[in-house]
Amino acid sequence: MYVKFQRNKRLSFVFLSSKLKTMNTKIEDFDYFLPDERIARYPVSPRHNSKLLVYRDGEITNNQYFHLPSHLPAETLLLMNNSKVIEARLHFRKPTGGQVEVFCLEHGNPYPDVSTAMQQKGRVEWWCQVGGMKKWKGGRIELEFESNGTPQLLFAEQLKREDANINILFSWTDSTLSFAEVLHLAGKIPLPPYLNRETEESDKERYQTVYAKEDGSVAAPTAGLHLTDELFTELHAKGIQTSTLTLHVGAGTFKPVKTETAEEHDMHGEFIEVSRKLIRDLIQQQEKTRIAVGTTSLRTLESLYWMGVKLIQSPQLGLHELQIEQWEAYSLPQQHSFHAAMAALLQKLEAVETEQFLSKTSIMIKPGYQIRTVHGILTNFHQPRSTLLLLIHAFVGPEWKNIYQYALDHDYRFLSYGDGSLLWLNR
């Protein structure tokens, strides 16, 4: 079911939003056959030589990312996620010689945000997944690494367990090092499991966007992997501007939907950080064409919209009360404009005199959801039966099937290191 909203019918918004939350969106309708040889194990070089599928008003054309400026109006605003992938995979050894793999997922409760946790020195708590758990009943395990040619040790101890995740206390011998520095020296980049290969030295650079800045993701915002400094020069020459936001991508981005319907799926939460300047720019440049670079940028922008709506309804809310739960967008008032929502959010940020805004979102974007913040999206080709395909349906409706079949028929490369697309919003 693809629902086209009518902006001038407020009652229709309320009725349809309630229905969208409870409708049965069958995951089997978002399956397609992806041959293994179509999964890109390595990126192309240079990055901007990746193929670019362009979809607009039912028409599909082929191109390359380097020619992206020709497909965008002058003075377009590109909105990019500047989160940086951390070396989140750590391989410890027990005193008996057994290996234990620890995958850092999310910072522990003592810290207000990812950045604070990453800057801890000497010790830090982190929620993790552990491979070879049966080998690690308890006790302290260690990992050897070097810092400036000096041998160092990283220790791990279990604190508590919740479901499949374990809260681990990390400590290390050189207390002048931050946890971010320790991970860089001792850890490995966590490549997506579907690449089915070990991390290589080149992945340290290629599995990051060229504008990555804020440590915290365990997966790259892959739509931006195609953008290069040379391409940015061409974009800026046309008057196309760029702004950054931060969403730290969690391991849940790889989590397939195993329930029969999207409504039964438990959406993962992710931390976001945006500046007051970004909100001000969005207000001042509201007439420009806005393009989200990647699904993570889109989820951040849509979440910001709903945070603004919450403030319109309840101006007394504190910033810590604005995080967006999985289905919250479907029960909030639907009639407010993008400009009004951003204005409410800016007013709150100015009132509390903060330049940076930290929050969390678990928003689920699925068929029938109305995109409110952008006109198009740059995005890769996603896994079958994934929440990302549900999001693509919100953009282009059932046409996603034709787009993906076209990509398969024309030798596009899929998933994180693959080619991408520019999809214009269906209205």
Boundaries of every domain in the chain: 10-84+207-424, 88-187
In 3D, which of 134, 130, 83, 136 has the Cα closest to residue 105?
A: 130
On whether the CB atoms of residues 310 and 317 are closer than 8 A, the answer is yes
Tens-digit pLDDT profile for residues 183-202: 999 999 999 989 999 999 99
Question: Does 10 score more than 60 pLDDT?
Answer: no
Spatial separation of the C-alpha atoms in residues 313 and 317, rounded to whole Å:
9
CA angle 67, 70, 75 (to 5 degrees): 120
Tens-digit pLDDT profile for residues 34-74: 999 999 999 999 999 999 999 999 999 999 999 999 999 99
Q: What is the pLDDT of residue 2?
A: 29
Spatial separation of the C-alpha atoms in residues 311 and 306, rounded to whole Å:
9
Got the DSSP string for 30-69?
Answer: G-----GGGB-SS--SSGGGSEEEEEETTEEEEEEGGGGG
Band of residue 6 on the pLDDT scale cut at 50, 70, 90: very low
Tell me what the pLDDT averaged over the chain comes to.
92
Q: What is the pLDDT of residue 4?
A: 31
For residue 280, give Cα distances in angstroms to 243, 290, 294, 342.
11, 14, 21, 8
DSSP-derived secondary structure letter, 188: B
On whether the CB atoms of residues 83 and 296 are closer than 8 A, the answer is yes
Compute CA 63 distance to the chain's CA centroid, rounded to the nearest angstrom.
25
Q: What is the pLDDT of residue 20?
A: 54
For residue 351, give Cα distances in angstroms to 269, 275, 413.
27, 14, 48
Matching residue, tokens 């998933």:
415
Of 16-20, 70-74, 114-118, 141-145, minimum mean pLDDT range: 16-20
CB-based contacts of 250: which residues, under 8 Å, 6+ apart?
105, 106, 217, 218, 219, 268, 269, 270
pTM of the model: 0.91
Tell which CATH classification among 3.40.50.300, 3.60.20.10, 3.40.640.10, 3.40.1780.10 matches the domain 10-84+207-424: 3.40.1780.10
Question: Does 90 score more than 70 pLDDT?
Answer: yes
Q: What is the pLDDT of residue 16?
A: 44
Q: What is the pLDDT of residue 164?
A: 81
Task: Give the chain's count of helices (H) and strands (E).
Answer: 10, 17
The count of other CB atoms within 10 Å of the CB of residue 243 is 18
Q: What is the pLDDT of residue 39?
A: 98
Does a cis peptide bond (omega within 30 degrees of 0) precede residue 46? yes
Question: Count of alpha carbons within 13 Å of 304, Cβ hemisphere only?
Answer: 32
Tens-digit pLDDT profile for residues 218-258: 999 999 999 999 999 999 999 999 999 999 998 777 677 89
Tens-digit pLDDT profile for residues 14-40: 444 555 555 789 999 999 999 999 999
